[in-house]
Amino acid sequence: MHPIVKVSNVIKHFKDVKAVDGIDLEMQQGEFLALLGPNGAGKTTLVEMIEGIQQPDSGEILIDGKHWAGHAKELHHLIGLSLQETHFIEKVTVKETLKLFASFYDLPKTRVEEVLELVNLREKQKAFVDKLSGGQKQRLALGIAMLNKAKLLLLDEPTTGLDPTARREMWNILMRLREEHKISLILTSHYMEEAEYLCERIVILDKGKILAQGTLSEILTANNFHEIIEFSFKEKDVNVDFIRNSGLGRIDLDDKTLKYKLFVSDIVVQLPTLLSLVKLNGFSMKSLECHKMTLDDLFIEMTGRRLDQ
Amino acid sequence: MQSSLLQLIIIQFKTFAREPEVIFWSLLFPILMAWGLGMAFNKENESVITIMQVKNDQYPDPSFRKFMETATEIKNINSPDGKAKERDVTIQGLGTTHYKVIDGTWEQAYVLLKRGVVNLVLEERTEGLQFHFDPKSGEAKASYLQFSSILKGKQDDLAQAMIKPLSQKGTRYIDFLIPGLIAMGLMMSTMWGISYSLIEKRSKKLLRRLVATPMSKSSFMVSQFVARFVLCAIEALVLYLFAKYFFDMTIEGNIPALITLFCAGFFAFCGIALLLASRTSNTFVGNGIINVVVMPMMLLSGIYFSYHNFPDAVIPYIQALPLTMIADGIRGVFLEGAGWAELVKPILILSTIGMVTFVSGLKVFKWY
Ligand SMILES: Nc1ncnc2c1ncn2[C@@H]1O[C@H](COP(=O)(O)OP(=O)(O)O)[C@@H](O)[C@H]1O
Ligand SMILES: [Mg+2]
């Protein structure tokens, strides 16, 4: 069986920006994949090339083994999508919008009713699109994406800008989808938790390139120093060179919290060493906590920038 | 489930019906305009001539003083002292002219000339009564000729001239105006309705979303045009019926030819609208582009006033504008009893314009 999506060495420039800079990606049927990256990483450009909306400058994209050229009709039926930002026609109701899109796929009326239930918009079916909340608009966009029971679903930042409740509701719908159907999903996001929660496979993108990919634990353990000791001193302006030169691991100061982050391979081994070093140098700690590395930490470690900036 | 074309058309109609402004601007506004302008220019006999007099009691002009003897005093906001004198003069065949005479100095006269309140200034001087006016203004000249004849006591000469008042249907201003308004409504409705809404749909990424489905692109375009055509037809019909019942207007010529011309005009404007909307996704740019095309036609094509006042050299170009062709064609059928023979040429040209702009617009149309 061929992969549902195969992207080979795809490059896309905009003037002097390399939006997508040589990406290879393969996705099997039934897989849920998250493209995680900060703004401008190239997520939208990559996804829209897979959707056939944009054309790559070079490289090859195969959907279910087929090129867009020559198979557009077929592939339109195979995929469902929501764009990063779409405004549907304002003075048209939720149900009318779904009906309109359903007509493009020759779907029966009952499918509109089903989708209204699936995305929890039954109560809002008669509301005009411009009267919907952000979460409801995103659910409508998701509903449209789901109409044709596509094999491959592509959702571009479906929860950006939503409050936690609305985001949770979106996640629940997607989780149900994951359990009930054998569909494949590509979702872009700059929320680590979203990628973790919904997708078994995560691809971290930055500046048009793939930084890391795999399951969450694969990505994190690929890095040797995947545990973190976070601490601060009672004293002011401590020179931490004595820790930096100890070989325990990399140490960073978080500007926001004013806490130090020490990236170590094994807390059990390195924590006692750290504590005795601090004591030996005559300092005392104000706070101390240990945790496993998150994707956010990893991204900061690799790029020096935050994921959700 | 209904076909997607039908769904697209239904959605278009629903958006029209749900935007009350659409109804106002496309149906009510043209009627208000026709009614307003029709009434303003239809008032009978009320012609007013306002004159400024710069008096000089040392050299009174007897004929002018005599004219003023029977004038009565009125309040006048334009006059420096808030007062003026008025007198009606009726000449057989010319109707009644209402003269208003304002007193003042030369400086005051200049101000009122500049403001367009008066176009004739009389000054009493040693050498006699002087008339000051702009000889390039036809209206000022007419005021001068009429008033000086009256002062010279030659008003009978004016009346003796063979005067046959035109009040026949088809020669009134409203007769000229209504076909122009119908043509202009067609242009405005298609250019703004189609061009602007396409650009807006592109800027909101709706076009991009639509073509990521199996929707047929031609169905989409056709739905835009069909819905708009129905609206345009209603608009024209309402305007015509209004003119028919309110101003007693009739169509003299061939109605099927008229309808064909209307359709060809619609097609031409649809093509132009599509071409204009084919690239930009910025509604401000779109606004500008549409204005650049619509404004000159609105001003030149003889909608409100005949374009025959423009220099002869530019008239052929004006006549080649689509709006002129439509307005002249409709006027021909309404007023001059024109039929297929007269309309074949504009119909063919308009259809060709429509075809060329439509095909090229569709070719370069940016869906993403
Ligand atoms: N149509 C475009 N024209 C010019 N630059 C673009 C265009 N689309 C995207 N870019 C640039 O390409 C880069 C990647 O953008 P995008 O794919 O939208 O990133 P993301 O979706 O991850 O935020 C950005 O630097 C963006 O400015
Ligand atoms: Mg994006």
The predicted model gives A225-247 an average pLDDT of: 88
Instruction: Give me the amino acid identity at B175.
Output: D
Identify which of B141-155, B165-179, B207-221 has the greatest average pLDDT. Answer: B207-221
How many domains does chain B contain in total? 2
Residue nearest to atom 12 of ligand 1 (CA): A19
Does any domain span residue B13? no
Does any domain span residue B119? yes
Distance of residue A109 Cα from the nearest chain B Cα, in angstroms: 6
Does any domain span residue B158? yes
The predicted model gives B60-77 an average pLDDT of: 85
Mutate to test the pocket of ligand 1, among A44, A157, A299 (most ligand atoms within 8 A of CB): A44
Note the residue count of chain A.
309
Does any domain span residue B133? yes
Question: What pLDDT score was predicted for residue B194?
Answer: 94
Does any domain span residue B37? no
Residue A55 touches partner B, C-beta closer than 8 Å: no
Task: State if residue A43 touches ligand 1 by the CB under 6 angstroms criterion.
Answer: yes
The ligand placed nearest to the CA atom of residue A43 is 1
Q: With CB atoms and an 8 Å threshold, state whether B14 touches A101.
A: no
The predicted model gives A212-225 an average pLDDT of: 84
Return the H-helix or E-strand segment holding A178: helix A164-180
Question: What pLDDT score was predicted for residue B43?
Answer: 60
Instruction: Give me the amino acid identity at B128.
Output: G
> Do both B331 and B206 map to the same domain?
yes
Residue A182 touches partner B, C-beta closer than 8 Å: no
Residue nearest to atom 26 of ligand 1 (CA): A40
> Do both B129 and B74 map to the same domain?
yes
Return the H-helix or E-strand segment holding A110: helix A109-118
Question: What pLDDT score was predicted for residue A298?
Answer: 82
Mean pLDDT of chain A: 91
Does any domain span residue B21? no
Q: Nearest Cα to B342, choosing from B262, B269, B240, B258?
A: B258
> Do both B144 and B283 map to the same domain?
no
Mean pLDDT of chain B: 89
Q: How far is the CA of A13 from the centre of ligand 1 (A)?
A: 9
Look at the block and give the residue holding tokens 């026949």.
B168
Q: How far is the CA of B297 from the centre of ligand 2 (A)?
A: 43
The predicted model gives B80-108 an average pLDDT of: 83
Residue B61 clears pLDDT 80, i.e. is over it? yes
Containing domain of residue B198, as a range? 174-364
Residue B19 touches partner A, C-beta closer than 8 Å: yes
> Do both B325 and B182 map to the same domain?
yes
Does any domain span residue B222? yes
> pLDDT-derived band of residue A217, with 50, 70 and 90 as boundaries?
confident
> Do both B140 and B213 map to the same domain?
no
Residue B303 clears pLDDT 70, i.e. is over it? yes
Question: What pLDDT score was predicted for residue B98?
Answer: 85
> Do both B129 and B189 map to the same domain?
no
The predicted model gives B78-99 an average pLDDT of: 81
Q: With CB atoms and an 8 Å threshold, state whether A91 touches B14.
A: yes
User: pTM for this one?
Assistant: 0.82
Task: State if residue A85 touches ligand 1 by the CB under 6 angstroms criterion.
Answer: no
> Do both B151 and B214 map to the same domain?
no
Q: Which atom of ligand 1 is nearest to the CA of A84?
A: 21
Q: Give dist(CA B338, CA B333) in Å, integer.
A: 4
Question: What pLDDT score was predicted for residue A221?
Answer: 80
Q: Going by C-beta distance under 8 Å and a sequence separation of 6 or more, which residues neighbour residue A201?
A: A27, A31, A32, A33, A34, A213, A214, A215
Reduce the DSSP state of residue A143 to 3 states and report it: helix
DSSP output for B77-131: TTSTTSEEEEEEEEETTTEEEEEEEEE--HHHHHHHHHHTS-SEEEEEETTEEEE
Domain's final residue, options B165, B185, B213: B165
Question: What pLDDT score was predicted for residue B161?
Answer: 65
The predicted model gives B316-333 an average pLDDT of: 96
Please, what is the Cα angle at B140 between B134 and B143, to 5 degrees? 145
More confident: B133 or A309: B133
> pLDDT-derived band of residue B76, with 50, 70 and 90 as boundaries?
confident
Residue B209 touches partner A, C-beta closer than 8 Å: yes
**Contacts with A100 from chain B: Cβ below 8 Å:** 4, 7-8, 11
> Do both B107 and B209 map to the same domain?
no
> Do both B104 and B126 map to the same domain?
yes
Kindly report, residue by residue over A52-107, the tens digit of the pLDDT: 999 999 999 999 999 999 999 999 999 999 999 889 999 999 999 999 999 999 99
Inter-chain Cβ pairs, chain A and chain B, closer than 8 A:
68
Residue nearest to atom 5 of ligand 1 (CA): A14
Ranges of H-type helices in chain B: 4-18, 20-23, 29-40, 62-69, 106-115, 138-151, 155-160, 173-190, 197-203, 206-210, 217-247, 255-276, 283-300, 315-319, 322-336, 340-364
The predicted model gives B72-84 an average pLDDT of: 83
**Closest CB from B7, B205, B206 relative to A103:** B7
Asked if this assembly's ipTM is beyond 0.90, the reply is no
Residue nearest to atom 1 of ligand 1 (CA): A14
Tell me which long-range contacts A263-271 makes (C-beta under 8 A, separation of at least 24).
A263/A225, A263/A226, A263/A227, A263/A228, A263/A293, A263/A297, A263/A301, A264/A225, A264/A227, A264/A228, A264/A229, A265/A224, A265/A225, A265/A226, A265/A227, A266/A227, A267/A227, A267/A229, A270/A229, A271/A229
> Do both B200 and B155 map to the same domain?
no
Please, what is the Cα angle at A15 between A9 and A20, to 5 degrees? 25
Give the CATH number of the domain where residue B112 resides.
3.40.190
Residue B1 clears pLDDT 50, i.e. is over it? no
Domain's final residue, options B106, B133, B165: B165
Q: Nearest Cα to A7, choosing from A143, A192, A210?
A: A210
Q: With CB atoms and an 8 Å threshold, state whether B8 touches A100.
A: yes
The predicted model gives B43-66 an average pLDDT of: 81
Domain's final residue, options B146, B165, B184: B165
Question: What pLDDT score was predicted for residue B164?
Answer: 67
Residue B20 touches partner A, C-beta closer than 8 Å: no
Question: What pLDDT score was predicted for residue B97?
Answer: 83
The predicted model gives B131-141 an average pLDDT of: 86
The predicted model gives A184-210 an average pLDDT of: 93
Kindly report, residue by residue over B154-184, the tens digit of the pLDDT: 777 766 666 766 656 667 888 899 999 999 9
Does any domain span residue B225? yes
> Do both B214 and B155 map to the same domain?
no
> pLDDT-derived band of residue A197, with 50, 70 and 90 as boundaries?
very high
Phi first, then psi: give them for residue A178, nearest 5 degrees.
-65, -35
Question: What pLDDT score was predicted for residue B166?
Answer: 62
Query: Residue A42 CA to chain centroid, in angstroms?
Result: 12
> Do both B233 and B148 map to the same domain?
no
Sign of CA dihedral B241, B244, B249, B251: positive
Residue nearest to atom 6 of ligand 1 (CA): A14
Question: What pLDDT score was predicted for residue A309?
Answer: 63
